[in-house]
Amino acid sequence: MPGVRRQLAAVALVTLTAGCSGLPFLGSERIADGITVLAKADGWSPSLETADERFGAYFAVLEIAYDEDAARAAWEATVPADLAERSGRPREAGRYGSLDDVDLDAQVLVVFSGGQSGACPGWLSDVSGDDGAVVLEEGRHMPGNGCTDDYNAYRVVMAVDRDKVPPVDELPTEDVLVDGKALRGLVTSYPAR
């Protein structure tokens, strides 16, 4: 399953990064209001690695923990204890915050699983709705010497304002746009089933 996902995502990643080689800085490193990066780690969410093979066909998966129990379970399962403490943009694996930073009355904990070029680290920078679809935007650091076309699975754990994500009774949804493209994505409650 990881090999299939890697192949499918590599094709999409090549499509996204083709043409950026040798150009000046093109990536958007912004992170939208209402989103706080808490951690970044290598590999997809463990809940996706142990689930059935249907997740292997997705370019990206966003899992939403709507309540405290789900948020704790997501944090414990997806944030390795040995991650280095970091600050700034999540270019590297590390802890950028903690579960204590999440106001569960106003926010949800989300786990975004996707892929990045080895030369152009990425992260989820925004979540929004658009005519019934969920729109996921990735931030990316794109240095002047361009991106490589390799695929490196990663996950980012974030606190996101509740009004930026669909209500739990409208999930799961496969009507997902990633960076404005109809790449195959899934938005579901945590853990993905």
- Supply the mean pLDDT for the chain: 83
Range from 6-20, 58-72, 169-183 carrying the lowest mean pLDDT: 6-20
Q: How far apart are CA 28 and CA 126, in angstroms?
A: 11
Cα-trace Rg, the chain? 15
Banded pLDDT at 53 (limits 50, 70, 90): low
Name the region of 19 (left: φ>0; alpha: ψ -120 to 50; beta: rest): left
pLDDT (tens digit per residue) in 126-155: 999 877 789 999 888 887 778 888 888 999
The percentage of residues in the chain with a pLDDT greater than 70, rounded to a whole number, is: 83
Total tally of structural domains belonging to the chain: 1
Instruction: Pick 106 or 11 by higher pLDDT.
Output: 106
Contact 180, 17 (CB under 8 A): no
Q: What is the pTM of this model?
A: 0.82
pLDDT at 186: 92
Average pLDDT on 5-18 reads: 39
d(CA 39, CA 13): 22
Nearest Cα residue to 148 out of 175, 129, 113, 120: 120
Q: How many CB atoms lie within 10 A of CB 58?
A: 23
Show the domain range for 124: 2-189
Classify burial at 71, counting beta carbons within 10 Å of its beta carbon; exposed 0-12, middle 13-18, buried 19 or more. Answer: buried
